[in-house]
């Protein structure tokens, strides 16, 4: 009887062994891709504490960040996501929110004169609707709280808002809500 059982197993392997091997290979490949995708989407963390400063002093928020609810753009007469925070203040000075390196200084038609600063840990800060007379240039090192320019009304996409700072932050090239990083006690 035992010889008959061994022969059945050998016959099963001969007949279906290739399917079992192919199935195991497919499962292994699927698990490998799942693991790679899971590790690829993880965000590296750092033990460094980043102390963000405010981009303006004594400023009020005149239009807040929103990536889920559309907001009316009065200048363009359209509804849109607003991935920036718009600040207004009696004091027009604009400051770097964190130490970093100036990535670019450029004039963008809808946003006006814009300074982008690259910071550590994948952060970037973007300051738009500035005066043409910026105080930094591409490649300059800046420190948190350093004056980099003044606000103006150069953002053609928000002309009806008057002089203001159109401010955004990115983390790993994705817009993030500055409210999560800046200490904006009163809105």
Find tokens 């690829």 and name the residue. Answer: 40
Which H or E run contains 55? none
- Look at residue 130 and give its three-state secondary structure: strand
Alpha helices in the chain (DSSP H): 2-40
**Confidence at residue 33, expressed as pLDDT on a 0 to 100 scale:** 76
Note the pTM of the prediction, 2 decimals.
0.72
Task: Centre a 10 Å sphere on the Cβ of residue 21 and count the other Cβ atoms it contains.
Answer: 11
End-to-end alpha carbon distance in the chain: 85
Structure tokens at 73: 């753009």
Give how far Cα 179 sits from Cα of 38, 66, 126, 171, Å.
28, 10, 14, 13
Average per-residue pLDDT in the chain?
Answer: 87
Tell me the β-bridge partners of 4.
none
CA geometry: angle at 117 spanning 111 and 118, to 5°?
130
What is the mean predicted confidence (pLDDT) over 177-186? 83
Fold of the 60-180 domain: Glucose Permease (Domain IIA) (2.70.70)
**Confidence at residue 20, expressed as pLDDT on a 0 to 100 scale:** 78
The answer to whether the CB of 103 falls within 8 A of the CB of 68 is no
**Confidence at residue 6, expressed as pLDDT on a 0 to 100 scale:** 60
Lowest mean pLDDT segment, chosen from 16-20, 52-56, 79-83, 134-138: 16-20
User: 64 pLDDT band (50/70/90 cuts)?
Assistant: very high
pLDDT in tens, 143-167: 999 999 999 999 999 989 999 999 9
> Any idea where the domains of the chain sit in the sequence?
1-42, 60-180
Residue 40, φ and ψ in degrees, nearest 5: -70, -25
The answer to whether the CB of 155 falls within 8 A of the CB of 72 is no
Residue 50 in this model has a pLDDT that exceeds 90: no
User: 5 pLDDT band (50/70/90 cuts)?
Assistant: low
User: 61 pLDDT band (50/70/90 cuts)?
Assistant: very high
What is the mean predicted confidence (pLDDT) over 87-104? 96
User: 9 pLDDT band (50/70/90 cuts)?
Assistant: confident
């Amino acid at each position: 009887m035992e010889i008959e059982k061994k022969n059945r197993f050998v016959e099963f392997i001969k007949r279906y062994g290739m399917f079992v091997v192919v199935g195991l290979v497919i499962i292994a490949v699927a698990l490998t891709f799942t693991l790679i995708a899971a590790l690829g989407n993880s965000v590296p963390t750092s033990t460094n504490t980043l102390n963000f400063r405010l981009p303006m002093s004594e400023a009020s928020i005149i239009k807040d960040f929103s990536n889920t609810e559309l907001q009316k753009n009065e200048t363009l007469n359209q509804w849109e996501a607003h991935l920036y925070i718009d600040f207004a203040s009696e004091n027009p000075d604009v400051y770097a929110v964190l130490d970093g390196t100036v990535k670019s200084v450029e004039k963008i038609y809808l946003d006006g004169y814009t300074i982008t600063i690259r910071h550590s840990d994948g952060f970037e800060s973007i300051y738009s609707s500035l005066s043409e007379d910026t105080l930094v240039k591409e490649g300059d090192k800046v420190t948190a709280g350093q004056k980099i320019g003044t606000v103006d009304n150069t953002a053609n996409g928000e002309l009806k808002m008057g002089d203001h700072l159109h401010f955004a932050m990115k983390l790993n090239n994705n817009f993030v809500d500055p409210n999560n990083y800046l200490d904006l006690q009163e809105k």
